[in-house]
Chain A
Amino acid sequence: MNLQGDVLVIGAGLAGLTAAWQVAARGGRVRLIAKGWGALYWHAGCIDVLGYYPPLGEAAVSSPAEAVAALIQERPDHPYARVGVAGLDEALRALQALCAQQGYPLHGSLERNWLLPTAVGALRPTCLAPETMIAGDASQPLPTLIVGMKQLLDFYPTLIADNLSRQGIPAEGVALDLPSLRECNFINAALLAKRLEQPQFRAEVVAALRPYRGRAERIGFPAVLGMEQAVAVKAALEKELGRPVFEIPGLPPSVPGMRLHGILTRVIGEKGGRVYDGMQVVRAEEARGRVTAVYSEAAARTRPHRFNRYLLATGGILGGGTATDSTGRVREVIFDLPLAAPNDRGEWFKRDFLDAAGHPIYQAGVRVDGSWRPVNGDGQPVYENVYAAGAMLAHCEVIRERSLEGVALATGYRVAQMLAG
């Protein structure tokens, strides 16, 4: 029997892609399979490390390094405690180096969170942000113009401007009515991003926008400033408008997330790894405590994948890695691994939708041993050669902590280091 490679990664979110990239970069034979494109296409394109700590805190974290250190002290089971601040920092720097090399720098560090406007004009703490977004940082209350386009129905400039104004950032909103878009039946963020790479369309935007610049010292756009050439598109607009320009990520499809997806899948391919989509894993085969194959759904049959080791990066409840049934049981969907989760429906949710303590169901996840292998109730690994990373891990609440990308990146990176080492 021939093995198809060293490591099979299941899941194409940030954890899975990071892990596949790192295994491939270290010379391992890796294949990544996923049901669809998933997580990064829904993604704001920033790396949140820790936005609120403790999660009930009113104020956003300003220094992730300090807050992560405090969290590690108080919660020794948290994934960050397993990778440590230095491990987290190393993973962030590796991603920054990769993105810079691909002409799409991510700025920031563990020293300080950015505070960036969201698509409803709230302010969002995040650790790393692409060059196309950082001029929007709200730590300086500069007068701001928010620009939308009438034909892009997913972005509301005046809503954003009003909410920013309420938070002390003087802002105005305008929706441009562009003749060339009036001819289109359908517009979405991805189509606009391609259009903005064309100089003639940019000229049309700039001409329409000039009269509205007023006192604004920076101009915010929906996140559509180019797909492959975002930094160049932003620079060209800044030159033509004479103001700093920034992007605000919005509804999916999210162009900044697609850019990250593109960078990561490209580098995996360049390093000799493979990424296959449309492959949903439906079962696994085991012998003597080891997984010998997993099977993905294919036309008229299932297809075996035989690897030495299997890394599960399928996400939590939102990503589809864990699911619930009508009896209240919470389960991991591929290996049926034991989960740290309430198995009584009555305990899934708190009474209040916005309960300060959070809903227990969102903390469901797999517990792992020192080698990142999911364990059973006795703390013993369920399989010798199955590992887990990312949002499916127990003992973290990635949404409320605003730590989703930090946990995915740092754990994906660390597990890959170990698997390839």
Chain B
Amino acid sequence: MDTDKVIPIWEVRQPEGVHRGPVELTLDQCIKCNICTTACPVSPVTDLFPGPKYEGPQAGRFRQQKQPSPDYSVDYCSGCRVCNMVCPTGVRIAEINARARAQMVETGKFNGRTRLRNNLLARPETLGKLARPVAPLANTLLNVKVGRWLAEKTLGIAQKASLPRFSGETFSSWVKKRERKARSEERGAGRKVVYFHGCSTQYYEPRVGKAAVQLLEANGFEVIVPPQNCCGLPLLSNGEFAAARKYHASNIRHLIGYVQAGYVIVGTSTSCTLTLKEEAPELLDYYDDEARLLAANTYDFNEFLLGLWDSGELKTEGLRPIPLRLVYHPPCQYRAHRIGRPAVELLELIPELQIIESQVACCGVAGTYGYKREKYQIAMDVGRPLFDLVKESGGPLAVCDSETCRWQISHATGLPSVHPIELLAAAYGLAVEGPLADVMRET
């Protein structure tokens, strides 16, 4: 084979020019075959959402700039993107729906209370900054029954939905503490990579970031964790495009210098990386040179590791066996990267680990969707086949790349959920924390 031409995944590349053009134009490619309608996980469980074909390419014909949106049901699109994946003619239905929702926000179709609720749910960074210093108190308050009842009545945040717990320590404070002992440089071997942690790792599950940093170092990378923002996806999926644009601009400011200096960006949150790669540029028409350069050099964590494997650079010797049988669910946002199932291919490297692959379209929660009073039950019904699969598997935990999906699975099944790279870190013999550490101790 020709090995000489292949650029290693950790080298910065120029954008490939796969800019796909305005999403609305793709509606002309719809041939009304209804494949999306049968694949949509939302429309079979609720009559409030008639399905992707009606909402996207059909209603799209009646949506004009500065004109009122023809319907409200588009807000019941969860944005899971399953329709895009199965469409044989390339209609970008989910994006058409997201832009329609933004138009509703812009034209005042949501009342103040709904927008307040949506903005609260869609700003994990603000919440994290406020709550983290008083994490135990915040955790208690968020789970007080009366408070939750009140939050549902006044704001429309589903009382039954389980809110994630703030971590006592942020991920970045762990990084700082660690750097005082030894620079990451001394642990890695000189090649550098930037880690994008996202809000969930920063405020709720630092353990995922710790596993990521150690895995990268074990493969010879110095890991840089620069200041960064929320990727803005929750705002995008709530139609709050103006606020999302600010976040994206800020992330470009924070990160572009590193890319220009030759470092790629790697993230463990699949929806954050998808947002930097595609969602923000596409939904916001944000296609300047810097946005495109950042997109072209942002990788999902498993995608990056698999890229190392492709070029024979991933450390695979001496992996420790993990004798467990676990359900792995690829999040819908992950499939939307259109890179296959890299997590499964990596987990296959771990001796004795048996993976049951979920074929379920979506866990239901779709970011903030399942936390809303009017959508909570829909989200639970969408995810039911997945919850059944996890429960029937008899495994001690579930595996999933996306944080809100993990929380949804745990909420519905009562079982803990971990990121696939936590398993890989354990197989590398690195220290892991949380539910996986508990399970590993028992086995």
- A residues near B (Cβ < 8 Å) are 1-4, 31, 33, 35-39, 41-42, 183-186, 188, 190-191, 194, 251-253, 258, 269, 274, 276-280, 282, 285, 287, 292, 296-304, 306, 320
By beta carbon, the residue of chain B nearest A265 is B359
How far, in angstroms, from A302 to B13 measured CA to CA in the complex? 12
Give the distance to chain B from A209, nearest Cβ to Cβ, in Å. Answer: 24
Q: Quick check: A2 and B296 within 8 Å, CB to CB?
A: no
Question: Would you call B338 an interface residue if the criterion is a C-beta within 8 Å of the partner chain's C-beta atoms?
Answer: yes
Give the distance to chain B from A9, nearest Cβ to Cβ, in Å. Answer: 14
How far, in angstroms, from A186 to B58 measured CA to CA in the complex? 15
How far, in angstroms, from A282 to B20 measured CA to CA in the complex? 13
Given the complex, which residues of B lie within 8 Å of A252, measured CB to CB? Answer: 33-35
Additional A-B contact list (8), CB under 8 Å, known A278-B86, A304-B310: A1-B311, A36-B35, A190-B37, A191-B44, A278-B336, A299-B277, A299-B338, A301-B277
Given the complex, which residues of A lie within 8 Å of B78, measured CB to CB? Answer: none
Give a binary string over B1-44; 1 marks a CB under 8 Å from any A CB, 0 the rest.
11101100000010110100000000000000111011100011
| Chain B contacts with A in 179-234, Cβ cutoff 8 A | none
By beta carbon, the residue of chain B nearest A227 is B38
How far, in angstroms, from A297 to B1 measured CA to CA in the complex? 23
Contact of B337 among A188, A251, A298 (CB under 8 A): A298
Given A276-B341, A277-B85, A298-B339, CB of A258 within 8 Å of CB of B38: yes
Q: Quick check: A253 and B37 within 8 Å, CB to CB?
A: yes
The number of inter-chain residue pairs (CB within 8 angstroms) is: 121
- B residues near A (Cβ < 8 Å) are 1-3, 5-6, 13, 15-16, 18, 33-35, 37-39, 43-44, 47, 50-51, 54, 84-90, 274, 277-278, 295-296, 298, 309-312, 335-341, 357
Given the complex, which residues of B lie within 8 Å of A300, measured CB to CB? Answer: 15, 18, 277-278, 295-296, 298
Q: Quick check: A277 and B86 within 8 Å, CB to CB?
A: yes
Q: Quick check: A253 and B16 within 8 Å, CB to CB?
A: no
Q: Quick check: A299 and B337 within 8 Å, CB to CB?
A: yes
Q: Closest 10 interchain pairs by CB?
A: A36-B88, A278-B85, A300-B277, A300-B295, A299-B278, A298-B338, A190-B38, A38-B88, A253-B38, A299-B277
How far, in angstroms, from A33 to B35 measured CA to CA in the complex? 17
Given A296-B338, A302-B16, CB of A3 within 8 Å of CB of B35: no
How far, in angstroms, from A297 to B339 measured CA to CA in the complex? 9
Given the complex, which residues of A lie within 8 Å of B312, measured CB to CB? Answer: 1-2
Given A38-B88, A252-B33, A320-B88, CB of A184 within 8 Å of CB of B311: no
Given the complex, which residues of B lie within 8 Å of A31, measured CB to CB? Answer: 340
Q: Quick check: A3 and B1 within 8 Å, CB to CB?
A: yes
How far, in angstroms, from A398 to B5 measured CA to CA in the complex? 41
How far, in angstroms, from A297 to B340 measured CA to CA in the complex? 11
How far, in angstroms, from A299 to B339 measured CA to CA in the complex? 8
Which among A279, A302, A303, A320 has the highest number of chain B CB atoms within 10 Å? A303
Given the complex, which residues of A lie within 8 Å of B5, measured CB to CB? Answer: 285
How far, in angstroms, from A287 to B5 measured CA to CA in the complex? 11
Given the complex, which residues of B lie within 8 Å of A4, measured CB to CB? Answer: 310
By beta carbon, the residue of chain A nearest B40 is A190
Contact of A303 among B13, B15, B338 (CB under 8 A): B338
Q: Quick check: A35 and B338 within 8 Å, CB to CB?
A: no
Give the distance to chain B from A408, nearest Cβ to Cβ, in Å. Answer: 16
Give the distance to chain B from A265, nearest Cβ to Cβ, in Å. Answer: 9
Given the complex, which residues of A lie within 8 Å of B338, measured CB to CB? Answer: 278-279, 296-299, 303
Which among B38, B295, B296, B337 has the highest number of chain A CB atoms within 10 Å? B38
Give the distance to chain B from A176, nearest Cβ to Cβ, in Å. Answer: 20
Give the distance to chain B from A324, nearest Cβ to Cβ, in Å. Answer: 16
Q: Quick check: A37 and B86 within 8 Å, CB to CB?
A: yes
Given the complex, which residues of A lie within 8 Å of B86, measured CB to CB? Answer: 36-37, 277-278
Q: Quick check: B1 and A36 within 8 Å, CB to CB?
A: no
By beta carbon, the residue of chain B nearest A320 is B88
Give the distance to chain B from A5, nearest Cβ to Cβ, in Å. Answer: 10
Given the complex, which residues of A lie within 8 Å of B37, measured CB to CB? Answer: 188, 190, 253
Given the complex, which residues of B lie within 8 Å of A277, measured CB to CB? Answer: 85-86
Q: Quick check: A1 and B33 within 8 Å, CB to CB?
A: no
Given the complex, which residues of B lie within 8 Å of A292, measured CB to CB? Answer: 1-2
Q: Quick check: B35 and A306 within 8 Å, CB to CB?
A: no
21 A/B residue pairs, CB under 8 Å, sorted by A = A1-B310, A3-B1, A31-B340, A38-B35, A39-B88, A184-B47, A186-B43, A191-B44, A194-B44, A252-B34, A253-B33, A253-B35, A274-B341, A277-B85, A285-B5, A297-B18, A297-B338, A299-B277, A300-B278, A302-B18, A320-B88
